[in-house]
Structure 1
Amino acid sequence: MQHIAELPDVRAARNPAGPCIADDHEQLDNRTFLERVRNAAAALRAHGIGAGDVVAVILPNRLDLVVIMFAAWRLGAAVTPVNPELTDAEARHQIEDSAAKAVICDAPSRAVATLDVSEVVHAHAAAGDDGEDAVARAHDSLALIIYTSGTTGRPKGVMLDHANVAAMCRMIIDGLGLDATDHSLLVLPLFHVNGIVVSVLSPLLAGGRATVAGRFRAPSFFAAVERAGPTYFSAVPAIYALLVALPAEVRPDVSSLRRVICGAAPMPAELIARFERRYGIPVVEGYGLSEGTCASTINPPAGPRKPGTVGRPLPGQTVAVMDGEGRLLDDGSVGEVVVRGPNVMRGYLGLPEETARTVVDGWLHTGDVGRFDADGYLVLVDRIKDMIIRGGENIYPKETENVLHTHPAVLEAAVVGAPDPVLGEVPVAHVVLVPGAEATAEELMEHCRGSLARIKVPVSVTVTEALPRNPVGKIDKRRLRSSS
């Protein structure tokens, strides 16, 4: 079986001049992409990167990130992509936890940087040095460490090996029917496994190509579609809401698009209908999580698609519903969604107990509650965890609460999601102050801005005398949500 790290070589041998990957600044054919990967691998090796090492990459969406990813894999190293919006303190946790040997940025002034991206992707290999390495590339070697926050608020590293990634890509290719004529437009961030797998690796493995778009802006998005001519893009509900809300006179040429994909958060059936009515493009909704390497269910592109569901299990994995006693429920009952298959992560980095709680007897426990309808389509009912999904970005309240608690005037803090018509949910905070202390809502939000990425900062802070509690004394977040 071909190792995914060999993809640049295979494509270059098959069709050297064929288009491969592009971004807002340049387009690479297969031969040039391979050369760029070889040179980057040689540069990484010159900086001591080898098999078993981890390379952290802090970059906005650009093809350089894809080049570095393949260069690291060529050497037997793994990659941990870091959200460039994170503060240095937040990024440092991921860098240190993953034991990254190199940190590649496009802003060398960042304290966490060890290499500038130009030193790597624009390096030229010495004569006879094409970045090859004697290491045998194993399918069970680590490929990606994707960080996702846990209920404790400390981000956890999801370990995905090459077998996970290869299996997931095959499922996506089969599930979406991708082939050599497909061309994806990447609009989701490349620090998400969805962006990496659905919009880059899968189309490239299918023989197609990918264009990496920069920051999403609704008014200019369709101009990018018209320029690139993609056959699909993958996005989150907030993006579709913004596109539906564009002025009526916006009538773009979307004839190249065969279908569009939605994931990361459930998309309301009405929003799907409005998008499809306006633009005439079928929306294929799916569901998954980083611990399952990306996706577990999908509404079949060939139909029938059922809005209000997240589709049927992808071929090659099993998705089921389980009760609290570990019994599988097959009668349409509500329970926790569990997943089994070659896409299930190796575990959380350095957290064996957390891994053992999450993957039990081969079943990945998602923390989501759902049921299967009579046609075998999964309907998500609720989330067990308190996670907030803001425009497809996962926010874990505990992380924000921990920051609020560092303010000297704060005695208690609870963060919950409040409905938002575009983003789905936004975080709001409820705070009890230390008796006699004073702090304004703006002061507390500014305190959060100093330690948290913008999306994690509460949009409002309510200072209250007491927080609601349940009978055992825990803060009753359900009541807080209902009042937000």
Structure 2
Amino acid sequence: MHIAELPELRARRDADGPCTADETSVLDNAAFARRVRRAATALRDRGIGRGDVVALLLPNTVDFVVALFAAWRLGAAVTPVNPALTDNEVRYQLGDAGAAVVVTAEPSPLAGTLTVAELGTATADMAAPQTDADALALLIYTSGSTGRPKGVMLDHANLAAMAGMMIEAARLSEADHSLLILPLFHVNGIVVGVLSPLLAGGRVTIAGRFRAETFFDLVAAARPTCFSAVPAIYSMLAELPGHVRPDTSSVRFAACGAAPMPPALIERFERRYGIPILEGYGLSEGTCASTTNPLDGPRKPGTVGRPLPGQQVAVMDAQGRIVPAGETGEVVVRGPNVMRGYLGRPDETSRAVVDGWLHTGDVGRFDEDGYLVLLDRIKDLIIRGGENIYPKEVETVLGDHPDVLETAVVGAADPRLGEVPVAFVALRPGSASDEGELLDHCRARLARFKVPTMITFVDRLPRNPVGKTDKPALRARTTAVTVAG
């Protein structure tokens, strides 16, 4: 079965069965299929067909999932857009992806927009869904080391493989009910939060904006069996007042990814709420996940678990040789979940995928039980509460300010978010810019989560013996400040 056929298949099997819901809508399988067919007609009327790209600039709602399946029904790909991006960032992604239509919640000044209200007014599309497994399904944009976000190309075969792996690893079935709290512009939200449970015959409830104070009220009302979150969310939930004693008996497990989760936090959360956390690891280029701690123990805090069924995960040395357990090297991944490549970037694709192995840029080792331990990142990626920030993108923006001579951005430890970006800036001689002016400059050009939390002015950036910016020395300075604080 092709994923594009899923709405029709569910409607035929159990028309009245629950499918998906959000804060304002509750759709059974038949209603969901009808919504998808109407949305497909609206997109077709805008000229969308096989090979086109549809951008979804939407919050977490049922409308997003409807539009997603409508585009796939026509053989089009989808590029989800983070609503927190600035206008310039949005326009860059739309242009790079070649989006023909942008689906928005409300009328927008962007060219080629189609509102979700318009999606619901068309007649039902009666043509057969497109079912090419090799067709492009998603363009997920991830910040690149060059400072410009790049589109990760995932086809339908990638999505089907990844969903199948998640269904097997988590033993998902028609009895499962996913509570989606992660954003749908991330591949985790789409593949783990929505596709996997729906393909398994289960259902999905899509939460709005996450608030720790009301999260367990939603759990009590929806009675989900599973959800996925990032360490920052688990930290906020673990820190709720002691009188909060929710009924979590419906929840079989909670998944965690995006950033390493401290073992002490895992233990604190599990002891308080009785929900086992399955910590895993993956990246967009691998269609979300490559390892996970098993549902049926042993779960090993401090590791990201074992390889998922159907893919290979190994550790490779600098000469491209796979090393045995206990030895350190770059984590590499191979399997049907590995991306097609980066859109319009053949050189970067050839560097990332070599002989079928996806090079992650992360350093790790396998322990004696075959569990992966992540040690560091080759790249300078900063993960702030689950959001990926590449320093080069922030450095490029700061460097565009006329008073900035040079700049470097590194991650500083944060007890709640894991890491936050901080900048070191050397100003041009005679300039008078202050921290506030440079932060305003960043806020106008970057999404809020990418803006540095602090700017430290220096006479010049430290250099290593080969003349490159000595980022380890800068990280040491942030550590010293954190410890002193």
* TM-score normalized by the length of structure 2: 0.97
Deviation at 1:396, TM superposition (A): 0.6
Q: 1 CA distance for matches of 2:347 and 2:397?
A: 25
Consecutive unaligned residues of structure 1, counting only runs of 5 or more, are none
Aligned to 1:390: 384
Distance 2:400 2:271 in 1: 49
Amino acid at match of 2:424: H
Are the equivalent residues in 2 in contact too, given 1:236–1:263 (CA < 8 A)? yes
| TM-aligned CA deviation for residue 82 of structure 1 | 0.3
Residue 316 in structure 1 maps to residue 310 in structure 2: yes
2:214 maps to amino acid:
S
Instruction: Give 1:107 deviation, angstroms.
Output: 3.1
In structure 1, give the amino acid aligned to 2:121: A
Q: CA offset at residue 464 of structure 1?
A: 1.2
Name 2:462's counterpart in structure 1.
468
TM-superposed CA distance for 1:135, in Å, is 7.0
Q: Distance in 2 between matches of 1:80 and 1:123?
A: 23
Please give the residue correspondences for 1:58-73 in structure 2 after superposition, counting only pairs within 5 Å.
58-73=57-72
**Structure 2: which amino acid aligns with 1:439?**
S
Q: How does 1:363-442 map to 2 (within 5 A)?
A: 363-442=357-436
Q: Specify the alignment match of 2:200 in structure 1.
A: 206
Q: CA deviation at 1:331?
A: 3.4
Pair 1:47 & 2:46 matched: yes
**1:5-404 equivalent positions in 2, closer than 5 A:** 5-112=4-111, 114-120=113-119, 122-125=120-123, 130-133=124-127, 136-404=130-398
Residues 17-44 of structure 1, C-alpha deviation per residue, up to 9 Å, x if partnerless?
0000001111100000000000000110
Give distance in 1, aligned partners of 2:70 and 2:193. Answer: 19
* Aligned residues of 1:194 and 1:294 also touching (Cα < 8 A): yes
Deviations 1:68-108 (A, max 9, x none): 00000000000000000001100111101110100111132
**Contact 1:337–1:369 (Cα < 8 Å) also in 2:** yes
132 and 155 in structure 1: CA distance in 2 versus 1, 3 angstrom threshold: farther
Q: Would you say how many aligned residue pairs link Structure 1 and Structure 2?
A: 478
Kept after mapping to 2: 8 A contact 1:75/1:132 = no
1:132 offset after TM fit, Å?
3.8
**Over residues 290-326 of structure 1, what are the superposed CA-to-partner deviations in whole Å (9 max), with x where a residue is unaligned?**
0000100010001111010000000000000000000
Residue 425 (structure 1) shift: 0.2
Aligned residue identity for 2:224? P
For 1:481 and 1:18, the matched residues in 2 are separated by 53
Q: C-alpha distance in 2, partners of 1:113/1:222?
A: 39
Decide which moves more: 109-118 or 149-158. 109-118
Structure 1 residue 255: Cα displacement: 1.1
Q: Distance in 2 between matches of 1:110 and 1:183?
A: 37
Instruction: State the alpha-carbon separation in 2 of the partners of residues 113 and 230 from structure 1.
Output: 37
Deviates more, 1:404-413 or 1:340-349: 404-413
Separation in 1 of the partners of 2:105 and 2:393? 27
Asked whether 1:457 is paired with 2:451, we answer yes
Q: What is the distance in 2 between the residues matched to 1:426 and 1:388?
A: 7
Aligned pair in 2 of structure 1 residues 335, 250: CA closer, same or farther (>3 Å)?
Answer: same
Q: Deviations over 1:10-69 (max 9, x none)?
A: 100000000000011111000000000000001100110000000001001001000000
Over residues 185-235 of structure 1, what are the superposed CA-to-partner deviations in whole Å (9 max), with x where a residue is unaligned?
A: 000000000000111000000000000001111111111111111001000
Query: In the TM superposition, what whole-angstrom CA distance separates every residue of 1:337-362 from its partner, at most 9, and x where no partner exists?
Result: 00000000000000001000000000
**Once the two structures are superposed, what CA deviation does each residue of 1:274-294 show, in whole Å capped at 9, x if it has no partner?**
001111111011100000001
How does the TM-score come out when normalised to structure 1? Answer: 0.98
Q: Which residue of 1 aligns with 2:481?
A: none
Decide whether the 8 Å contact of 1:51 with 1:135 is kept in 2.
no
Distance of 2:112 and 2:361 partners within structure 1? 35
In the aligned structure 1, how far is the partner of 2:382 from the partner of 2:112? 30
Cα 1:207–1:238 change in 2 (3 A) is same
Please give the alpha-carbon distance, in whole angstroms, between the structure 2 residues aligned to 1:45 and 1:229.
Answer: 37
**Percent identity (aligned):** 67
SS, match of residue 328 in structure 1: coil
CA offset at residue 408 of structure 1? 1.0
Partner of 2:483: none
Q: Is the 8 A contact 2:79 2:139 kept in 1?
A: yes
Change (3 A) 1:59 1:113: farther
The answer (yes or no) to whether the contact 2:74–2:130 under 8 Å persists in 1 is: no
Larger CA deviation: 339-348 vs 244-253: 244-253
Alignment-mate amino acid for residue 187 of structure 2: V
Residues 229 and 136 (structure 1), Cα distance of their counterparts in 2 relative to 1, 3 Å cut: closer
Contact 1:389 1:395 in 2 (8 A): yes
Displacement after TM superposition at 1:111 (Å):
3.0
Give the partner amino acid of 1:474: K
Give the match's secondary structure for 1:367: strand
Secondary structure, counterpart of 1:329 in structure 2 = coil
Do 1:74 and 1:132's aligned partners in 2 also have CA atoms closer than 8 Å? no
